[in-house]
Structure 1
Amino acid sequence: MSRVRVHNFAISLDGFGSGEPQSLEAPFGHAGERLHEWRFGTSSWKEGGSTGVDDLFERRHNDGFGAEIMGSNKFGPPGWQDDSDWKGWWGPNPPFHTPTYVLTHRPRSSIEMEGGTTFHFLDASPEEALAVAREAAGDLDVRIGGGATVVRDYLAAGLVDHAHFAVTPIVLGRGSRVWDGLEGLESSYDVEQVSAPSGVTHVTLTRKA
């Protein structure tokens, strides 16, 4: 059976995956791009960028995934459901290249994009959405793409097999936080961490056998 994975999910030192308020002009709220600057400095993003730990994780971003599940706030700013022309933040060729399932209480017709990405909109529980995504992924893995609430919900439901968090050296203080309600999570996972010169600590959680 395919695995359920979180990969390259950036959080602050205090556990926030985005700031607030989210808007069309500020997709990550007051966090801006600070959670993701480590990615932009790698050779995967720019010529002459770093080739160390950060780049190793970045290069694995799309490896082995056959479907993605994301939350409503990752797909668009508040109110995107009222804009019939909204097709996500990423332009005509989104970076997912797989069937991508957007969790929303207001589903709409699927949107086929360039590069193999098709957005499907589901009003479903984590378990129900995962069953649909797994069928689409076949033997490949399913990525839980975020935001923080969706990652937290899948962890709380015991559905995540492997998770990678890039803990960035900033404190946000407010926003959408991953760890709330997940006390004792480490008892179910083997936890490893490695630090990069960028100041990011890469934390991986692998479900115990």
Structure 2
Amino acid sequence: MMLRDVERLFKVTQGYDIVVKAHFIPSVCNSVVDNLSRQKAPPDWHVLPKITQMIFQRWGVPEIDLFATSNSAVIPSYVSHDSTDRSAVFINAFSRVWKYNLAWIFPPPALIPQVLQHLNLAEGTFIVIAPRWEKVFWRPDIKSRAVSPPITLPDLAHNLVDLSTGNPPEKVQMLHLEAWKVRGGRGRLPLGIQKTNSCF
């Protein structure tokens, strides 16, 4: 069944002269899709207050958490992907233009390119939590938007929990997260362009 779907997809893309490229994303960094393919509850990662307070003391308290659930939100005002969540300010962070003095963004890693694209239309300042991957195409873009050097989140085994299991994410010892304070609007680099020199 899936093979037929893939064949149909390739016929459509060939008809429009579109090139499809596959990229391997380790399951530790693509946990939403990985869990759905195994019919598990999707992960709901949450940074514990010890870390969020450290970040808030340095950069200020955000007015909204743009990628959260009622359990994982780091502040009371949050946006959910769950259409049944009556406590959320609104549903689907990408459904609106972002205009905030300071907002918290901790998306599933696979959504980071879409977040950066959405930031092109945004106004304000944003704290983005992202994995530290040196060779991903979006890292130069996030660096070009930064207004401060990133903060490395320490000791994730004790400060990051997957609320769907109550435990740290699988293979948390392989995961390194950073908090970036970035501005909205177009980045100085087009997405995917490499920046050779950086102060951080």
Question: What TM-score does the superposition give when structure 2 sets the normalisation length?
Answer: 0.40
Higher helix share: 2
Give 1 or 2 for the bigger CA radius of gyration: 2
Query: Which TM-score applies when normalising by structure 1?
Result: 0.39
More strand by share: 1
